[in-house]
Amino acid sequence: MKKIVLLLAVAAFIVSCGTKNNSKKQDEKSVVTVSILPQQTFVKKIAGDDFEVNLLIPPGSSPAAYTLLPSQLKDIARSDVWFRIGYIGFEHSWKDKIAQANTNMKVINISEGLDLIADKMEQHGDHVHIDGVDPHVWLSPVLAKQMAKRILDELIVLKPEKEEEYNLNYQRFAIECDELNHELKNKLEPYKHRKFIVFHPSLSYYAREYELDQYSLESGGKEPTPQHLKSMVDMANNEGIKVIYIQSEFDREHARVFADEIGGSIIQVWPLNPEWADNLRKMTDTLIENF
């Protein structure tokens, strides 16, 4: 009799543990992986805290040259989907290893179908071959809205029961993008075709959107040659430009030399700021102050 009671107790314990483990699994959030901080913002705009967002490139690191840490592979292995920006250097260098870490993970290029800025576009049969794509698409509110739609579609696949809620959240974010675009257009209307200089050409889509002329010291990821540096100094002096903008993750030495040559200053910008809309407003105000 005692043996029967003991067996029943053990069975009850096993069932209880199984129930707890199942409950824990049900409570665990689905994981989505993103490359950069602004994408994390877009996911949260649509889905709130429904997903655990795994960020590949941490604050302060360069998307062009970041090296994936072994500890990050475990979060990749748990991810249902990876939202790629599509063309940043890190993604090209690590895409195969990331895919191998989780063969079941869906990989979505959220730049697909966008009006991209590229060095070269050629038609090859039924597809277009694109080379030298500028990856900084999130700095255009128009393109950000389109990228958010791609994110929305995939999040609904992961949580179809939240479709109505996610659609409403996306519509709110789409309105936010439209209003931000209208606001920046109005602010920059008097400054069309004004020139500004950056170290790394990160504001190409922003400049195109608002009809500004961006010039950069760096070209194709390479440090400026003495000839290019001289031509940029001459242009800055002719145009009365006294500022060079540089991203926080880049070495300031070449920018400092350039600033000294034009008798100007260096202003730091952070295109990867997760406070996406406020950051675009701040960058706009800073540009206007220095035109």
Among 168, 184, 200, the domain boundary falls at 184
Among 184, 206, 229, the domain boundary falls at 184
Q: What is the reported pLDDT for 219?
A: 75
Mean pLDDT split into 10-residue runs, the chain, 291 residues: 40 40 59 97 98 95 87 94 93 91 96 89 47 90 98 98 98 98 98 96 97 91 86 96 92 90 96 97 98 95
Query: Are residue 213 and residue 265 in the same domain, yes or no?
Result: yes
Is 260 a domain residue? yes
Task: Give me the CATH number covering residue 90.
Answer: 3.40.50.1980
Domain total in the chain:
2
CB half-sphere exposure, 131, CA atoms < 13 A: 7
Count CB-CB contacts under 10 A for residue 66: 21
Which letter does DSSP use for residue 138 in this model? G
| Structural domain range at position 245 | 188-290
Is 87 a domain residue? yes
Query: Are residue 170 and residue 156 in the same domain, yes or no?
Result: yes
Q: In what order do the strands lie in the sheet with 51-55?
A: 51-55, 30-34, 79-84, 106-109
Q: Which residues pair with 129 in a beta bridge?
A: 122
Query: Are residue 119 and residue 198 in the same domain, yes or no?
Result: no
Query: Are residue 175 and residue 230 in the same domain, yes or no?
Result: no
- The answer to whether the beta carbons of residues 199 and 254 sit under 8 Å apart is yes
Query: Are residue 179 and residue 156 in the same domain, yes or no?
Result: yes
CB half-sphere exposure, 213, CA atoms < 13 A: 10
Q: Is residue 104 packed enough to be buried (19+ CB in 10 Å), middle (13-18) or exposed (0-12)? A: exposed
